Structures are given as structure tokens and as C-alpha cells.
């Protein structure tokens, strides 16, 4: 296992951006930048002597400063949409920016993935990046200390752990918005990929793509992926999958 760091560009104010690369003994390599704690590259041995990059990303900091599609991004404080760009918590209404019609998506503007995170810990098999989100940041109550840890194992596993410690009641719903092409990022369409999800239910959305609050069974719907299906099947019936699944939690 090894960890190396490289220059990756700079912020608009001149601060240096770094790229941190983890390697294991089996030839897998994972790269993360401290700009947004974004997952930049995942190179995996393919059994034919190659190591395709299966994660979509950019070649430098400039791309991540204009990351319209949130590629590889750590999204917070809240991933997904908040109706009317406001929410009630502990008897107080909190107002966010309306950055998707009347609603808020991914807590923007001033997204977490546009900010320079601090390298809090570096080991041969993992790195931890830290962001301090002040009280009132993006309109959310309470300050939050966020740590995201990327770990690469010798079993060719990539693990992402989130730790967020608030100093007051607030909303926290973090995710990694990585996008994948298992044939390699430059290999064209992913519609031939086969997907299976251990999920008996999903959360329907309204015309603004807002979850309705219902948890509906996947039975008899195109969202049923309990048996493997190609992505092309979903694209044909749904225009693509853009939904939340309720995964099994058997542990």
C-alpha cells in the first residue's frame, strides 16, 4: 500500500490544490482531490492486463471548480432536493437558496464540492479530508465538523466513511456523487451495464423530482432490479433511473 500527493492546480485565490493517490499491492489505484474531497479516478485491474479508469472525472482543479454534474463530488449538508427551499426544525423555519426552480438541490450555491478541504490524516491505505461548515452556512442551523475518509484495501475495495459532528440540531445528509463506467471512463455508453439492487421499495417523486414521502414497493414497476437488468431496459421505460431506493439492511 502507498499514498502519494501531487499538484493538481489552484483555487481562484491562489491556494494550491492537491491530488492524493492511494495504491494497493494488486494494482488498484484511487485518486482524490482536496478540492471538494472529490473522487477523481478509480483504476481497477480488468483481468486482461489493463487498468481502466472506471470513475468519471476531470484532469485538473479547473474542471472541479465548474463541476456542473457533481462528478465525484461530496455533497452536503443535504444531498438531493428540499421542497420550497425551506424546512422546519425545532419550531424554526430555515430558508435556503432556491437553485432549482422554487426548490433547493444539493444545498447550493457555495457547494461543499467547490471548497478546499483540509487533509486531516494520511495513511498508506487511507486519507481523511475535513471541512468546517459554520453556523448558518448555506442557510442551515448549527456548525458542523465534517470528515470524509477514503480507504483502499488489498481486496480491491474502496470504502468511503462519513463523520459529521454538529454543535446544534441541523440537517445532515451526505453522499459521494461519483459517476461510473465500468468499461472505462472513455468507453462510451453504459446502457449495456447490468445492475442488480437488493431493494424491495423505492421513494416515488412528483413532477419536480421531489420525494412524496411514500415508500412504495418495486413489485410490478420498472424500478424492480432485484434480478439483474441492463440499464438499457430502464432507459427505454423510464428515460433512465433517477430515484431513491430503500436498500435491505440485514446487518
Please answer whether residues 221 and 187 qualify as being in contact, where contact means their C-beta atoms are separated by less than 8 angstroms: no
- 83 and 205: one domain? no
- 12 and 104: one domain? yes
Positions of E strands within 124-189: 126-133, 144-152, 158-166, 175-177
- 34 and 158: one domain? yes
Using the predicted structure, report yes or no on whether residue 250 has a pLDDT greater than 70: no
Within a domain: 184? no
Sign of CA pseudo-dihedral 9, 13, 14, 17: negative
Number of domains the chain contains: 2
CA distance 238 to 242: 9
CA distance 1 to 122: 12
Within a domain: 231? yes
- 136 and 231: one domain? no
Residue 219: how many CA atoms within 13 Å on its side-chain side?
1
- 114 and 212: one domain? no
Note the pLDDT of residue 239.
85
pLDDT band at 240 (very low <50, low <70, confident <90, very high): confident
From the list 89, 71, 2, 68, the residue with the least C-alpha distance to 33 is: 71
Residue 167: how many CA atoms within 13 Å on its side-chain side?
9
Query: Which ranges in 119-206 belong to alpha helices (H)?
Result: none
Note the pLDDT of residue 251.
58
Note the pLDDT of residue 233.
86
pTM of the model: 0.93
Higher per-residue confidence, 239 vs 215: 215
- Residue 212, domain extent: 194-247
- Span 56-75, pLDDT tens digits: 999 999 999 999 999 999 99
Please compute the mean of the pLDDT values over residues 189-204 and round it to a whole number: 95
- Span 10-45, pLDDT tens digits: 999 999 999 999 999 999 999 999 999 999 999 999
Within a domain: 82? yes
pLDDT band at 209 (very low <50, low <70, confident <90, very high): very high
- 57 and 90: one domain? yes
- Span 107-135, pLDDT tens digits: 999 999 999 999 999 999 999 999 999 99
Domain end (from 117, 143, 177)? 177
- Which CATH number does the domain housing residue 130 bear? 2.70.98.10
Within a domain: 183? no
Please answer whether residues 72 and 55 qualify as being in contact, where contact means their C-beta atoms are separated by less than 8 angstroms: yes
pLDDT band at 248 (very low <50, low <70, confident <90, very high): confident
- 225 and 135: one domain? no
Within a domain: 236? yes
Domain end (from 128, 145, 177)? 177
For 68-73, which contacts have Cβ atoms below 8 Å and span 24 or more sequence positions? 69/179, 70/106, 70/111, 70/113, 70/177, 71/38, 71/177, 71/178, 71/179, 72/36, 72/38, 72/39, 72/40, 72/176, 72/177, 72/178, 72/179, 73/36, 73/38, 73/111, 73/112, 73/113, 73/176, 73/177
Note the pLDDT of residue 159.
97
Within a domain: 137? yes
Using the predicted structure, report yes or no on whether residue 249 has a pLDDT greater than 80: no
Amino acid at each position: 500500500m502507498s499514498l502519494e500527493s501531487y499538484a493538481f492546480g489552484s483555487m481562484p485565490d491562489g491556494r494550491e490544490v492537491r491530488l492524493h493517490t492511494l495504491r494497493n499491492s494488486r494494482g488498484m489505484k484511487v485518486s482524490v482531490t482536496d478540492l471538494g474531497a472529490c473522487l477523481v479516478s478509480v483504476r481497477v485491474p480488468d483481468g486482461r492486463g489493463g487498468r481502466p479508469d472506471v470513475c468519471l472525472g476531470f484532469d485538473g482543479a479547473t474542471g472541479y471548480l465548474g463541476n456542473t454534474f457533481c462528478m465525484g463530488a461530496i455533497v452536503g449538508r443535504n444531498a438531493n432536493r428540499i421542497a420550497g427551499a425551506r424546512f422546519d426544525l425545532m419550531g424554526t423555519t430555515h430558508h435556503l437558496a432556491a437553485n432549482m426552480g422554487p426548490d433547493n438541490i444539493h444545498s447550493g450555491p457555495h457547494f461543499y464540492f467547490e471548497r478546499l478541504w483540509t487533509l486531516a490524516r494520511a495513511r498508506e491505505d487511507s486519507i481523511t479530508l475535513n471541512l468546517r461548515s459554520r453556523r448558518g452556512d448555506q442557510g442551515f442551523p448549527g456548525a458542523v465538523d465534517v470528515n470524509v475518509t477514503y480507504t483502499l484495501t488489498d481486496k480491491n475495495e474502496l470504502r468511503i466513511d462519513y463523520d459529521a459532528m454538529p454543535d446544534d440540531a441541523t440537517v445532515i445528509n451526505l453522499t459521494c456523487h461519483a459517476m461510473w463506467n465500468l468499461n472505462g471512463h472513455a468507453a462510451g455508453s453504459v446502457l449495456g451495464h447490468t445492475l442488480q439492487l437488493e431493494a424491495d421499495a423505492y421513494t416515488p417523486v412528483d413532477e419536480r423530482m421531489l420525494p412524496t414521502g411514500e415508500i412504495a414497493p418495486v413489485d410490478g414497476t420498472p424500478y424492480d432490479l432485484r434480478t439483474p437488468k441492463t440499464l438499457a431496459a430502464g432507459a427505454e421505460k423510464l428515460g433512465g433511473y433517477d430515484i431513491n431506493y430503500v436498500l435491505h439492511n440485514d446487518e
